[in-house]
Each structure stands twice: as structure tokens, then as C-alpha cells.
Structure 1
Amino acid sequence: MEMNFRWYGADDPVTLDNIRQIPGMIGIVSAIYDVPAGEVWPYERIMELKKEVESKGLRLDVIESVPVHEEIKMGLPGRDKWIANYKETLRNLGKAGVKVVCYNFMPVFDWTRSELNAPLPDGSNSLLYDHEKVKNIDPLSGDLVLPGWDLSYEKERLAIIMDYYRKLSEEQLMENLIYFLKEVIPVAEEAGILMAIHPDDPPWPIFGLPRVVTNNENVRYILETVNSRHNGITFCTGSYGADPANDLFEIIDTAKGRIHFVHARNIKWIGEKSFQETSHLARDGSLDMPGILKKLKNAGFDGPVRPDHGRMIWGEEGRPGYGLFDRALGAAYIHGILDAFNRQESGK
């Protein structure tokens, strides 16, 4: 597996010079963050990002994310214009040598948590999702604003969009995803891009909005309906693993050969549909991280993996879930597990 690290560009307090010092780190996962959702990413901007990353001895193989415009997700008549733009962005990314594009199909909101700095027993803090609290939050109130959310919509427009989604069934949202994939996957094939859909986070409906990338059944349907190697998944342990009903080993079996990117993080279940993020260590959370990594390795996955959503430790302040220290520890932990597997196989 190839170790990568998420980087949010020049405004990220974690610098490329910081990241390059993490043992075994070879690549950066990033994006162009100031291009509005749906607009074409210029080839020149992509190359500027690539050259900046490569100037530090790192690679830019993975883009996370190229946002999918809401009109595509909603299945509105104007979606074909935005899909055409998406295709052009994929062509430009392929021309620049990008190999994997991670994206999601979550209506309106990206990953959602109820607290950004919930305390842990060791004195660190991390992201927490309390389902009862989220049920009582009105996302239009502005009381909850999270990194990754698209805040470009005015409140009135956002209310209209949310009302539309609330009338959309999961079957209809899935149809809109399949329509999008049937359009863009042939272009991804031509461009040499592996598309890797990220699961919904958390993997159940929130704010009355449907979600359709939540479990093994969804994964099987998406991969079988658009049956191309270039139509694959991002296997996010913490997103799928937030639901105890999800068998992560089963999802790996279903997606074998079509897992193009891995997000490795651990979470601890703290109640029905509630969880807190922990260190990557198996003993600290509810997920069997060594077992998951071994299953991925045995399934033939050797692509990009990144340590995901670390705690804030040692007094660090920064983007919630994306500090330097704990994600660096997570990378070292993952490397240690993989080194042990490799030594076992070689008989050393």
C-alpha cells in the first residue's frame, strides 16, 4: 500500500515540509478548493498544484474531492451541463497524470459531526457524532457549520434544495447516481482515472435527506450496475464502520478489485448511531484495524491509503480532524502493521 496524506493547500497549517518528514510518506491527497462546485478545473491550475507537491519530493496521484453539483444529485434538467463540466475536469486530471478521483454523492452536506473537539480520557479531543443531538439540529440555523460543507448557497436557496431532497426517495437518488456514473465512467476510462466513491458519513439519512452509499448492498449494486474497473470505491473504515451492522470484511469481498483508495481511521461506538473518533489503535476503538488491513492486503489492494481524522493531541490546534501529530502516528501505526505482515509472508 502507498501511504498518502491529506493536504488542504497553502492555508493548511500542516505544511508539505511537515508531511514529507513522516516516515514512508510518498504522496499528497489534495484538490483545488477555490473553483466553485460544477465548474471545470483548469489544466493549468492542476499542474500548479502538482508541481508544488512534486517540488517537495511527493506525488499527486489522488484528488479528493471533485465535488458533484447538486443539480446532478437531484436529477434536475440542468444536470447534463454540470456532467459535461465534470467530464472535462476528468480529462484535465488524466492529462496531468492523476490516477484516482475520490468523490461523494451526499446531498448538500459532507461528513457530519455534532462536536468537533469532544474530550477523550487521555486529555486529547476528537470528532464526535451524537445522533440525538443531530436530530434536534436545524442545519439552516447556522448553529452547526462543519469543514467540508458547501456554504456557498444562500439560506433561502439552501432551504429550497433541502426541501427538494426530502421529497426524493433513496431509489431516485440512486438512479441519479447511476445516471451520473454511466456518463462519466467512459471518460474516466479514456483518461486513465479510477473513480472512487466515498461512503456517506455517517452511513444513514440525516436532516431528513436520503443517503445511498451506506452498506454492502449499495456497494454491490453500484459496482454491478456500472461494471467497469474505473467505477470503484473509497473504502473508508470509519464511515462504513460507524454502523455496527456493516461487516467491513464483507464489503471488501464485494468490492475486491474495485477498491481504489482507503481511508484508515478508528471509531468507538458510544450508543445507538453515535460514535467518537479515537486513535488508530485497535485497542482504542471498535474496529479491528490490523484485521481490516490484512483483509485488504489479502484481497490484493496495494493502492493509496491515508490516515484519516486524527485526534488533536499535544496542544495542537488546527482544522478539526486534520492535525499533523495524530495522523502522523496513524501512518506509523499502519506502516508497522503492514511491515509485520510482509515479514510474516517472507518468513523473516
Structure 2
Amino acid sequence: MKMVFRWYGEGNDSVTLQQIIQIPGVEGIAWSLHDELPGDEWPLEKIQALQEQVAPYGLHLDVVESVNIHEDIKLGLPTRDGYIENYKRTLEKLATVGVKTICYNFMPVFDWVRTELFRELEDGSTALFFEKSRVDQMDPLELVRKIAINPDYSMPGWEPERLAHLSASFEAYREVTEADLWENLRYFLEAIIPTAERLDIKMAIHPDDPPYSIFGLPRIITTRDNIRRLLTLVDNPYNCVTLCSGSLSARPDNDIAAMVREFGDRIPFAHIRNIRLYDNGDFIETSHRAQDGTVDICDIVAAYHEQGYTGYARPDHGRHIWDEECRPGYGLYDRAMGIMYLWGIWDSLQRQSIGRHGA
């Protein structure tokens, strides 16, 4: 298992590279060019500038999270071919700095959705929170109109300056079904995977978060059956999944450890995090410790260990603790503790394995 740490870049992240290299076992960053819009071809000079910035710290750039997909590709519009060509050219450039895995998603309009960024937990820390009934009862277009009048209605990601974009996006997806989205994903993968294979870059789709339809929008990477369908959609070892335990566990019927055991050779990148899922469908993100949430982190790490996992992994969203001011979910302290918890499980499994084999 190769540990990486998501980093948003100098000026965009409260965490520094100097702090990251002090976390035991971290060897690279999961990164992106966050000022590049979906569909843009990434400039080589920006990629190389980041490489030069990171190199003195001994961290690699093997994992990109994410190269975002333009909505025209998801919608299957005639303009998608131009954006796919931009994507291929971006892959060509990323290969020059040693990138091995691209994490991306195929979620319409949004990637992750939360209703609160700083919900307080019992110990006074705060974390990302999702209130299912609030989302279920929303008419998104009516909400857009309300936000235009009173910004206090806004949810994270629904800032007033994005309203025109949101309204147009919801309208564009009004007639798009899950079957349409599957077909558009197939079209994208059939175009991209040959390039990815030639460049030795694995395309690893991130599950939908939360893993079910919201606001009437189709979502398709949500269950074990759907991941199985994805991997056969273009049956190639470079068509992969970023298995996110937190995202998928918002459905109680998802067994993450079983997915690791079935799809292990197609998981080049693992997001390992915990949530506490309530009976009404609400969930809040917790520490990585298994006892603090609903997700059996110990069994998930054991499943990776059984596979002899050599892919990339990172702690995912963390709590905001010790008065840290940081990006929601992406502080230093709780994610660093999460890494040490994961290493503790892994090292214990390693020692048990050595003992069994008498080495």
C-alpha cells in the first residue's frame, strides 16, 4: 500500500508540503490543477511547475485527483468529442511527469453533496454532514430561485454566483436517464482507455457521493453491481475504480470489504474513511477509527492486505479538530491521525502474516 495525501496547492490549502512529509509513510500527493475548468486541456508548463515545487520534498505526483469531465460528455452532446480530445492531450502531458492513476467522477452537475460543512460532534469537533430529508424535499430549481432572493437558503456549493450555471445544468439533465448516463460513460471510456493503456495510466472512477439519485439527477456508480457493470463496460485493466469507503457506505446495503475482495485488482486508488450512518439516511463524517462510525475500517484494511494491495491509498475527509482553520474536510490533524490508524492496522496484519509464515 502506497500512502498519499490530498493537497490543493500553495495558496489553496492550509496544509504545507513540509507538514505532509512529516506524516510517517506518506510518499506522494493526490493533486490537481484546480484553476483549470472541466474540458480544458491542461498546460504542460503548469504541470511542470508543480513538479518542480514538489520535488524538493521527495513526494511523487503519481495520483491526480481529479481531471474533471465536461458536462457535455456526461450529457452525450455533439461537442463531447472535442472535450475528449482535450482530455487525451492532458493525459499525454501528465504521463511526462510520471502520473499513474487518474481519479475522476461521472456525477451530473455536482460531485459530492453535503448540507452542512461544520456540524458539531459530541466531542466539540466538527465535520461534514448530510441531512437526507432536507435534500429529498428540495425542488432544486425552486431552491435556485430562493437563493437568488435570500442567500441564507444556500447549501455548500450553491453560492449565488453559481446559480445561472446550476439552473442551466438542471434543465439540461431533465430528460437524461440512468441508461443515457451509462451509454455516455461507455462512449467516454471507449475513447479514453486506449490512450490511458498506451501511457500506462489507470482511469479510476470515484463512486457517487452520496450513492443514490439526488434532486432527480441520475447517479450510476452506487453499488457493488454497478461497479461490476462499470468494469465490464470496457473490460480493460486500465478501466478501474477509486473505491471510496465513505461514499459507498452511505448505503447500508454496500459491503465495502466484499468489494475490495472482488475488485481488488481493479482498485489502483483507495479512499479509506469512516462515516456514522443514521437510520433516517443522514450521515456525518467521523474519525477514521472503526468504533467511531458505521464503517468497518479494520475489515476493509484487512481485505486490502489479503489482496497484497500495492496501489495508492489516502485518508479521506477528516474532522476539524484542535481549532484548526482549514478547507472543510481537509485539515491536517485528523487526516494525519487517520493515516497512523490505517498504518497501525496494516502493520499489525503484516506482523501476523510474518508470524504465520515463520519468517
Alignment TM-score > 0.5, same fold: yes
Segments of 5+ residues of structure 2 without an aligned counterpart are none
* 2:285 matches 1:284: no
d(CA) in 2 for partners of 1:330 and 1:116? 19
* 1:110 aligns to 2:111 (yes or no): yes
Deviations 1:58-82 (A, max 9, x none): 1111000000000000001110010
Aligned mate of 1:146, from 151, 156, 168: 156
- Residue of structure 2 in register with 1:7 after alignment: 7
Match of 2:194 among 186, 190, 194: 186
Q: Quote the offset at 1:145 in angstroms.
A: 4.6
Show the counterpart of 2:60. Answer: 59
Paired with 1:186 and 1:172, the residues of 2 have a C-alpha distance of 23
Residue 241 of structure 2: aligned partner: 233
Report if the CA contact (8 A) 1:74-1:173 is conserved. yes
How do residues 1-348 of structure 1 correspond to structure 2 at under 5 angstroms? Answer: 1-11=1-11, 12-137=13-138, 138=140, 140=144, 141=147, 143-146=153-156, 155-347=163-355
Secondary structure at 1:271's aligned position in 2? coil
Q: Is the 8 A contact 2:61 2:97 kept in 1?
A: no
**Post-superposition offset of 1:158:** 2.9
Q: CA deviation at 1:218?
A: 0.9
TM-score under structure 2 normalisation?
A: 0.93
For structure 1, which segment, 285-294 or 45-54, has the greater mean C-alpha deviation from structure 2 after superposition?
45-54
Report the Cα offset of residue 154 of structure 1: 5.4
> Are the structure 2 counterparts of residues 154 and 28 from structure 1 closer, same or farther at C-alpha, using a change threshold of 3 Å?
closer
Tell me if structure 2 keeps the 8 A contact 1:65–1:101.
yes
> Given residue 106 of structure 1, which amino acid in structure 2 is its aligned partner?
M
Task: Classify the secondary structure of the residue corresponding to 2:278.
Answer: strand
* Cα drift, residue 129 of structure 1: 0.7
Measure the CA separation in 2 of the matches of 1:152 and 1:87.
33
Q: How far is 1:100 from its partner?
A: 0.6
Q: Give yes or no for contact 1:87–1:184 (8 Å, CA) kept in 2.
A: yes
Percent of matched pairs sharing the same residue: 47
1:166–1:210: 8 Å Cα contact kept in structure 2?
Answer: no
Would the alpha carbon gap of residues 152 and 91 (structure 1) be closer, same or farther in structure 2, given more than 3 Å must change?
farther
Moved more, 263-272 or 72-81: 263-272
**Does structure 2 conserve the Cα–Cα contact (< 8 Å) formed by 1:95 and 1:191?**
no
Structure 1: runs of 5+ lacking an equivalent = none
Cα offset, 1:274, TM superposition: 1.5
Shift of 1:156: 3.5
Output the CA distance in 2 between the equivalents of 1:79 and 1:135.
31
Structure 2 Cα separation of the partners of residues 343 and 156 of structure 1: 56
Distance 1:292 1:110 in 2: 24
Contact 2:20 2:26 in 1 (8 A): yes
Contact 2:31 2:64 in 1 (8 A): yes
Work out whether residues 73 and 184 of structure 2, in 8 Å CA contact, stay in contact via their aligned partners in 1: yes
Bigger helix fraction:
2
| TM-score scaled by length of structure 1 | 0.95
Q: Secondary structure at the match of 1:339?
A: helix
User: In structure 2, what is the Cα distance between the partners aligned to 1:145 and 1:40?
Assistant: 30
Q: 1:207 is aligned with what amino acid?
A: F
| Deviation of the 1:167 alpha carbon | 1.6
- Equivalent-residue separation in structure 2 for 1:184 and 1:129 (angstroms): 33
Q: Following TM superposition, by how much is the alpha carbon of 1:166 offset from its aligned partner in structure 2, in angstroms?
A: 2.8
Count of aligned positions: 346
